[in-house]
Chain A
Amino acid sequence: QVQLVQSGAGVKKPGASMKVSCKASGYTFTAYYIHWVRQAPGQGLEWMGWINPKSGATKYAQKFQGRVTLTRDTSISTVFMEMTRLTSDDTALYYCAREIFDMDVWGQGTTVTVSS
C-alpha cells in the first residue's frame, strides 16, 4: 500500500541541526511532490516547503529559507529534511506528505524536541 515512513523521534540541543527522513513506498516516487509540514505542541499545521523528487527542485516557506534544506535519494525513494540552528521554537511534530494536487498521503510524523 502507499505509505510514507519517517525516521524516529529525536532530542536536540539549541543550535544543533536535525535531519529527518521520509521513505516512500507503494507508488512511483518521482510522480509526486513531497511536502514537509510541522505542528508545534497544541498548535496547527505549518507548511515548510516541498521538493520535486524527479528534478530535485525545491520551494521553501519564507520563514524557513536558509535554515531548511530538502534533498532526495531516488535510489532509495527517500526525502530528507535538514534544519539548522535549532531553537526551542522548533520543538514540534514534523510530517512529510505527498502531493500531486493536494496532500493526500501523510507520514506518521517525527517528534523533534529541542532542549538544553
Chain B
Amino acid sequence: QAGLTQPPSVSEGLRQIATLTCTGNNNNVGDQGAAWLQQHQGHPPKLLSYRNNNRPSGISERFSASRSGNTASLTITGLQPEDETDYYCSAWDSSLSAWVFGGGTKLTVL
C-alpha cells in the first residue's frame, strides 16, 4: 500500500530550527492531516502531534506541526542533542481504508 513520503535524513545545527516534511495526497494528509511520532532506538514510537496539529500533554512547545495542502510539516526549534533520532508521520487513508506511515526521517543535530 502506498505510504507517505518523508526525506530519509535532515541535518541542522544545535539550537537551530529543523523542519521535517511528509507528503501524501488528497485521501490522507490532504484530508485529515498527519500525526507525528518520534522514535528513539530501542523504544516504541512516541506521539508528538495529533493530526489536528495539537500536541499531547507533556510534549515540548519546541515541537509544532502544520499542514499545507497534501504536505504536513514538523518544526523543531532550539534543537537539542536528544532530538537526534527518527521521526515518522502517519495518516488515515480514506481511499485505502488503511493507516499509512511515512518511511521516516533521521534527524541529525550537528
Contacts of B104 in A (CB 8 A): 44-45
State whether B1 touches A102 (Cβ < 8 A).
Answer: no
Which residues of B are in contact with A by a Cβ distance under 8 Å?
1, 35, 37, 44-47, 50-52, 56, 88, 90, 96-104
Q: Determine the distance from Cα of A109 to Cα of B41 in the docked complex, in whole angstroms.
A: 12
Task: Mark A90-116 against chain B: 1 for CB-CB distance below 8 A, else 0.
Answer: 000001010001111111110000000
Contacts of B88 in A (CB 8 A): 44-45
Contacts of A35 in B (CB 8 A): 99
Known contacts A102-B35, A103-B90, A106-B44; is A47 also within 8 Å of B103 by CB?
Answer: no
Nearest-neighbour CB distance to chain A for B24, whole angstroms, equals 14
> Which among A56-64, A72-80, A81-89 touches the partner chain?
A56-64
State whether A44 touches B35 (Cβ < 8 A).
Answer: no
Contacts of B100 in A (CB 8 A): 47
State whether A45 touches B97 (Cβ < 8 A).
Answer: no
Known contacts A44-B104, A45-B104, A63-B1; is A106 also within 8 Å of B98 by CB?
Answer: no
Known contacts A103-B35, A104-B56; is A46 also within 8 Å of B44 by CB?
Answer: no
Which residues of A are in contact with B by a Cβ distance under 8 Å?
35, 37, 44-47, 50, 59, 61-63, 95, 97, 101-109
Q: Determine the distance from Cα of A104 to Cα of B46 in the docked complex, in whole angstroms.
A: 7
State whether B90 touches A46 (Cβ < 8 A).
Answer: no
State whether B45 touches A102 (Cβ < 8 A).
Answer: no
Contacts of B35 in A (CB 8 A): 102-103
| Further pairs besides A45-B45, A62-B98: 18, Cβ < 8 Å | A35-B99, A44-B102, A44-B104, A45-B88, A47-B90, A47-B98, A47-B100, A59-B97, A61-B98, A61-B99, A95-B44, A97-B44, A101-B50, A101-B52, A103-B35, A105-B47, A106-B46, A107-B44
State whether B98 touches A46 (Cβ < 8 A).
Answer: no
Q: Determine the distance from Cα of A105 to Cα of B45 in the docked complex, in whole angstroms.
A: 9
State whether A62 touches B1 (Cβ < 8 A).
Answer: yes
State whether A45 touches B50 (Cβ < 8 A).
Answer: no
